[in-house]
């Protein structure tokens, strides 16, 4: 009976001491040893272990068959941008504060986000 109890205790302790498999890409293990994806992400199952993907894609992105979010060809989410923007602006455009491409205004004009057009820097004097 004592030998059986010792053997049972050995089996339980060896099962608990086995190293746990790594968490899926992007996930982190909590104190209980359970893997969780970050907030606003979900686990996308995959035969090789899975990975975390966004729950929703940002505007302008589409979800690929692998569950990840992608921008259309020629666009990307550049640093400072909140959505997909062109990688390169045309020669007659400049990069705005939001990283989108804006028309290049003349010397006496400036870009107005409200008007979505080039407007005079100073209002003309009353005539």
pLDDT, tens digit (0-9, with 9 covering 90-100), for 54-93? 999 988 899 999 999 999 999 999 988 889 999 999 999 9
On whether both 44 and 59 belong to a single domain, the answer is: yes
Is residue 93 domain-resident?
Answer: yes
Is residue 43 domain-resident?
Answer: yes
> Structure pTM?
0.60
When mean pLDDT is compared over 22-36, 75-89, 108-122, the highest value belongs to 75-89
DSSP symbol at 15: H
**Predicted pLDDT of residue 4:** 47
Is residue 35 domain-resident?
Answer: yes
For residue 41, pLDDT over 50 is answered with yes
**Predicted pLDDT of residue 7:** 45
On whether both 36 and 72 belong to a single domain, the answer is: yes
Q: Averaged over 105-117, what is the pLDDT?
A: 85
**Predicted pLDDT of residue 54:** 92
Domain total in the chain: 2
Is residue 107 domain-resident?
Answer: yes
On whether both 78 and 31 belong to a single domain, the answer is: yes
What is the span of the domain harbouring residue 94?
Answer: 89-126
Backbone angles phi, psi at 35, to 5 degrees: -85, 135
Residue owning tokens 């004592």: 2
On whether both 67 and 111 belong to a single domain, the answer is: no
**Predicted pLDDT of residue 126:** 61
For residue 11, pLDDT over 60 is answered with no
What's the pLDDT band for 112 if we cut at 50, 70, 90? confident
On whether both 110 and 69 belong to a single domain, the answer is: no
Total number of residues shown for the chain: 127
On whether both 57 and 82 belong to a single domain, the answer is: yes
Task: State the chain's mean pLDDT as an integer.
Answer: 82
| Cα–Cα distance measured from residue 63 to residue 116, given in angstroms and rounded to the nearest whole number | 30
42, 23 in Cβ contact below 8 A?
no
């Amino acid at each position: 009976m004592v030998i059986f109890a010792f053997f049972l205790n050995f089996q339980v302790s060896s099962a608990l001491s086995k190293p746990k498999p790594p968490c899926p890409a992007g996930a982190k293990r909590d104190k209980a040893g359970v893997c969780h994806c970050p907030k606003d992400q979900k686990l996308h199952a995959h035969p090789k272990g899975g990975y975390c993907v966004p729950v929703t894609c940002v505007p302008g992105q589409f979800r690929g068959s692998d569950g990840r979010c992608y921008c259309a060809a020629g666009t990307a989410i550049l640093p400072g941008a909140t959505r997909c923007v062109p990688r390169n602006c045309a020669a007659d455009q400049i990069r705005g504060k939001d990283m989108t491409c804006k028309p290049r205004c003349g010397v006496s004009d400036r870009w107005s986000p409200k008007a979505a057009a080039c407007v005079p820097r100073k209002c003309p004097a009353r005539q």
